[in-house]
Amino acid sequence: MRTIGHFIGGKEVEGKSGRFADVFEPMTGEVKAKVALATKAEMRAAVENAAAAQPAWGATNPQRRARVLMKFLELVQRDYDKLAELLAREHGKTIPDAKGDIQRGLEVAEFATGIPHLMKGEYTEGAGPGIDIYSMRQPLGVVAGITPFNFPAMIPMWKFAPAIACGNAFILKPSERDPGVPMALAALMLEAGLPPGILNVVNGDKEAVDAILDDPDIKAVGFVGSSPIAQYIYERAAQTGKRAQCFGGAKNHAIIMPDADMDQTVDALIGAGYGSAGERCMAISVAVPVGKATADKLMEKLIPRVESLKIGPSTDPTADYGPLVTKDALERVKNYVEIGVQEGATLAVDGRGFKMQGYENGFYLGGCLFDNVTKDMRIYKEEIFGPVLSVVRAHDYAEALALPSDHDYGNGVAIFTRDGDAARDFAAKVNVGMVGINVPIPVPIAYYTFGGWKKSGFGDLNQHGPDSVRFYTKTKTVTSRWPSGVKEGAEFSIPLMK
């Protein structure tokens, strides 16, 4: 069986802890690899390696740093099919979806190649007599990223590409459930010309994460995962004086106005609710039709579509979605379906009986659809993270607007309507970080920033786009005066610009 170690100092090294986690192939349910779980000492060794390599990389001119990323883009293109297959086999998503995972990460690497422009400071000539002021952005040093299982290519790239372009050394602690692609990406960065030690992958669990949080040489930590862990990391990072941006779970609503194009809306809900088996932080998990007639029309069209979803192994390119990531995840989602039934929601489509012929041990679940879900139910309040869509019927627009706005999570939201006034009002007032207007999954493009509100995001800067440069650099401001300027003698009060 394949054993996955760590990628430290430019090479794969064996884990020394003797502790391993199983890496499954969700479509068959078989264990295909064992990944090493790092100790605190192994994390420390990686940080020391990164800290030794970083000063020279930080002093490399930004254009040369960008060229490494340009080469990396080329190499990922070369290995695209191989990476997508590995990703699909470890995660469970279909190969076309795995390609999208890689592509959305590459777009941020592309953005990061513009770093010579993005890192430019500001300059004011003559801010006072003979006085010029300028600012510069400098790398932080060693920074870390802790990433979830559901986008094993995209989210690591969202983190390491801008951080490295800005001149930092990076420690990546990917999800222990699908570590193969992050390890492969680190090897490609090295092949692209990145000096050893600048990108390290240290696999592990809570022990490795806590080692990151306690390490005095790590200056910033970026996290993506579930909300309780996001909050834990945010608070603990603050205690040790680190910069932190921690993105959490979600409950993304789609509001369906009476004038919406219902066929287009149903297409959007099917893709965004069930694609990737609902294991996306931007998946639509709640549909809110406004008015009884809208709700009835929606259910009439939605039920046959959910019943006819094509579930298949990850290697079937015609499948709508594949298995869930682990047996535990499958059982957790099935348990939520049972909770919904107990709470009194109407289970309009029950996918729990689904069996994949030839893949009986895979972690498959048919699409599930609930109607008449209410605000007080656990299946409404909590993140399910599976192919389960809940319909909450709203009487009017005001009630529909209040639902996502008052929810604990605030990652994404969408409105389906042909009314520009309603859409504009919704975008302005809804208390959620990312909004789609007739767009079900409003993940902003790489040169904008990505981030949810409330329990979906802790910290004040978003991921990618201009915020990533702010997060991974510190600003230094220089005020300079040259001797030919005015001579004033000693000044005892606070200096003012005259």
Binding to ligand NAD in span 338-397, by CB under 6 A? 383, 385
Among all residues, whose Cβ is closest to ligand NAD?
225
Among 54, 175, 265, 294, binds ligand NAD (CB under 6 A): 175
Quote the radius of gyration of the chain (alpha carbons, Å): 25
Q: Is residue 473 near ligand NAD by the rule CB under 6 A?
A: no
188 binds ligand NAD (CB under 6 A): no
Tell me whether residue 148 or residue 197 sits nearer to ligand NAD (CB atom). Answer: 148
239, 225 contact by CB (below 8 A): no
Q: CA 453, 456, 461, 467: dihedral to nearest 10 degrees? A: -100
Examine residue 180 and tell whether it contacts ligand NAD (CB under 6 A). Answer: no
What is the C-alpha to C-alpha distance for residues 193 and 421, in angstroms, rounded to an integer?
A: 51
User: Annotated catalytic residue: which of 166, 246, 281, 368?
Assistant: 281
| Angle at alpha carbon of residue 247, lines to 330 and 381, rounded to 5° | 55
Is residue 87 involved in binding ligand NAD (CB under 6 A)? no
Q: Classify residue 495 by its DSSP letter.
A: P
Under rule CB under 6 A, residue 150 binds ligand NAD: yes
| Binding region for ligand NAD (CB under 6 A) out of 60-68, 194-202, 224-232, 314-322 | 224-232
Helices (H), 368-431: 378-381, 397-406, 420-429
Residue 219 near residue 472 (C-beta atoms within 8 A): no
Smallest distance, Å, CB 221 to ligand NAD? 11
CA distance 184 to 31: 19
**Binding segment toward ligand NAD, per CB under 6 A, in 36-44, 201-209, 266-274, 335-343:** 201-209
Look-up of token digits 């959620």: 432
Distance from C-alpha of 108 to C-alpha of 113, rounded to nearest angstrom: 9
Give the H or E element holding residue 21: strand 20-25
CB of 237 to ligand NAD, least distance (A): 11
Among 201, 209, 256, 469, binds ligand NAD (CB under 6 A): 209
43 counts as binding ligand NAD under rule CB under 6 A: no
* Site membership for ligand NAD, residue 468 (CB under 6 A): no
Binding-site residue total for ligand NAD (CB under 6 A)? 26
Among 245, 390, 411, 473, binds ligand NAD (CB under 6 A): 411
449 binds ligand NAD (CB under 6 A): no
Q: Which stretch binds ligand NAD (CB under 6 A): 1-9, 36-44, 173-181, 421-429?
A: 173-181
Q: Which of 301, 306, 322, 361 is nearest to 98 (CA)?
A: 322
Catalytic residue list contains 281: yes
CA torsion angle 22 26 30 31 (round to 10) = -20
Asked if residue 282 lies in contact with residue 442, where contact means CB atoms within 8 angstroms, the answer is: yes
Scanning residues 245 to 274, which ones bind ligand NAD (CB under 6 A)? 247-250
Using CB under 6 A as the binding rule, whether residue 167 contacts ligand NAD is answered as no
Q: Of 187, 190, 178, whose CA–CA distance to 153 is shortest? A: 178
Distance CA 110, CA 122 (A): 24
- The single residue listed with the structure tokens 């489509």 is 349
Judged by beta carbon, residue 15 or residue 139, the one nearer ligand NAD is: 15
- What are the φ/ψ torsions at residue 278 (nearest 5 degrees)? 75, 10
Cβ distance to ligand NAD smaller for residue 250 or 311: 250
Phi/psi of residue 432, nearest 5 degrees = -145, 150
Residue whose CB is less far from ligand NAD, 294 or 463? 463
Residues 6 or more apart whose CB falls under 8 angstroms from that of 426 comprise 255, 401, 415, 417, 435, 437
Q: Which is nearer to ligand NAD, 30 or 328 (CB)?
A: 328
Return the number of the residue (423 or 461) whose C-beta is nearest ligand NAD.
Answer: 461
Q: Which stretch binds ligand NAD (CB under 6 A): 220-228, 284-292, 419-427, 470-478?
A: 220-228
Question: Which residues within the stretch 108-147 sit at the binding site for ligand NAD (CB under 6 A)?
Answer: 146-147
Please report how close the Cβ of residue 492 comes to ligand NAD at its closest, in angstroms. Answer: 52
Q: What share of the chain is helix, strand, coil (3-state, %, to 5)?
A: 40, 25, 35
DSSP secondary-structure letter at 316? -
Q: Which is nearer to ligand NAD, 155 or 295 (by Cβ)?
A: 155
Minimum CB–partner distance for residue 325 and ligand NAD (Å): 8
Q: Does 203 bind ligand NAD (CB under 6 A)?
A: no
What is the distance between the alpha carbons of residues 3 and 262, in angstroms, rounded to a whole number? Answer: 49
Which tokens belong to 459? 């910290």
Smallest gap from Cβ 361 to ligand NAD, in A, equals 21
Q: Which residues contribute to the site for ligand NAD (CB under 6 A)?
A: 146-151, 173, 175-176, 205-206, 209, 224-226, 229, 247-250, 281, 383, 385, 411, 452, 456
Which residues are tagged catalytic? 281
